[in-house]
Amino acid sequence: MTFEQLIPAPARAEEHSGGGFVLDAATTLWAGAGTEGTERWLRGTLGGALRLPLAPGAEGAPGSVSLRVDGDLEAEAYRLTVAADGVEIRGGSPAGVFWGAQTLRQLLGPDAFRRAAVRPEQERVVPAGVVEDAPRFGWRGMMLDVARHFMPKEGVLRYLDLLAAHKLNVFHFHLTDDQGWRVEIKRYPKLTEVASWRSRTKWGHRASELWDEKPHGGFYTQDDIREIVAYADSLHITVVPEIDVPGHSQAAIAAYPELGNTDVIDTAALGVWDSWGVTPNVLAPSDTTLRFYEGVFEEVLDMFPSTFIHVGGDECPKEQWKDSAAVQERIEQLGLSNEDELQSWFIRHFDKWLSARGRRLIGWDEILEGGLAEGAAVSSWRGYGGGIAAAQAGHDVVMCPEQHVYLDHRQHGGPDEPVPIGFVRTLEDVYRFEPVPGDLTAAEAEHVLGTQANVWTEVMEYHGRVDYQVFPRLAALAEVAWRTLPAPAERDFADFERRMTAHYARLDALGVDYRPPGGPLPWQKRPGVLGRPIEGAPPNV
């Protein structure tokens, strides 16, 4: 591999002539203070993949890979130097050193991405040169929905590895929705006894007549969550949990009917939802509900150290609130004007509750409706508009507009795309996505924390389907999040596509069931399963 085949492409890469560094059984590994995590990762991951011991060595010894934290570099920046007598990775922080190690892994070729050696022990040559790099954004992420289709713990750990391989550092964990509750809350056992299972599942889009009649479900124990969080931390990834309120809550209401609007619907008759879309069954804005979810969030905060806690806040139909005498009385008591302001009051309550505990609330851009909670950050999903409004009002934003980076949307307009959903968003479309809209001033643009791809799993029944939708497009998103690229129309997609040729071999070694450039393979198709394709170019809103 050469410096010209890296993804994300670094800010500066200078390859030197005259060979490189030979990595073999005699190569040692020296780790300075603060780099012990990367030392363990290199020895376990590269050592295992290439059958090399990478034994501890002395500082400055020839034939060594050296790791150092250098306070003169930006926090996540790194400098990788390869010479005939050794490799040095300097990072502005332990994270920067780790990202430099990811670059070294790419330079060692696809075999470095396997779990164990597939060839007899042999030397590896790392090309000589220097790579200097630093990320554009501090928030570079992917949201994974495990509520619609549960992904077992091992699959989540695997996805953390895939994020790290692409220098992504945020895993937004969508844990609850109408179709399932996926995290153990010990004080509310019915959330896992009842809310984590549905009796059957709609197969395809909600208009499909097909059903999978098997019960579907699962959940993560608190120890599972702690393992996931600890593993992510070892990869310098922050796990941001999402507990959806006040909409997308039918699974919780099915387990605890008192959480719903009991004066307008028989909530005791509700089950965990088995179809897709937006259900009218939403939380009642009662003291009972507030106390219940405070209890949920207390346990969530104990499991997740992330500064940001995502509370959803999206797609909350107001019909039940409008029909409920209890809710209307609540609106009057609070001196609110309407149901939108009531939703804002609900979100503000948890914004203050989380702030009092040293955390920050983040929610989908509907939390702007009725007034944005002070201190809240926004995930701008319905387009750029919400993010622009939030940034102009001085609030932090993560840009993830569905028209650009919803990876559940189809990748091609052809008839073989499995369960085609939404707009066509090709690899090139994602590569030309720009997270910071031109409407923002330089000061306002500082509020754009970064970007993430969102992966909703209604029609992704197991990890192979998730792989197909996510890859190779996540590689393009990773470069957009990491690099300061030219304007979208001026980006060199041909160069990115050329580098992807090498990257596909890495994905193959990792066992990723990505969409091939030539279209889906036979087992990736879903003939006869109804989707919801939207024709034409997506609006730029």
Token look-up 């009725």 returns 370
Catalytic residue (choose from 248, 404, 447, 463): 248
The answer to whether 370 and 341 are in contact (CB under 8 A) is yes
- Nearest Cα neighbor of 475 from 523, 521, 426, 420 is 426
Catalytic choice (177, 351, 408, 458): 177
Question: What's the number of CA atoms in the CB half-sphere (13 Å) around residue 177?
Answer: 25
DSSP 8-class letter at 281 = -
310 vs 379: CA distance, rounded Å: 9
SS3 state at 67: strand
List CB contacts of 397: < 8 A, sequence separation 6 or more: 377, 378, 379, 380, 387, 390, 391, 447, 448, 449
> Of 246, 321, 330, 244, which Cα lies nearest the Cα of 289?
246
d(CA 163, CA 156): 11
Check if the beta carbon of residue 6 is closer than 8 Å to that of residue 103: yes
CB 389 within 8 A of CB 368: yes
Is 248 annotated as catalytic?
yes
Separation CA 528–CA 526 (nearest Å): 6
CA angle 325, 330, 335 (to 5 degrees): 130
* Residue whose token pair is 């020839």: 62
Q: CA-to-CA distance for 156 and 167, rounded, in angstroms?
A: 17
Reported in sequence order, the residue ranges of 36-169 that DSSP labels E, i.e. its strands, are 55-56, 64-69, 78-83, 86-91, 124-133, 139-145
Among 315, 340, 341, 416, the active-site one is: 315
Q: Is 177 tagged catalytic?
A: yes
Please say if 145 is a catalytic residue: no
Bridge-based pairing of strands 55-56 and 12-23 is: unpaired
Active site residues: 177, 248, 315
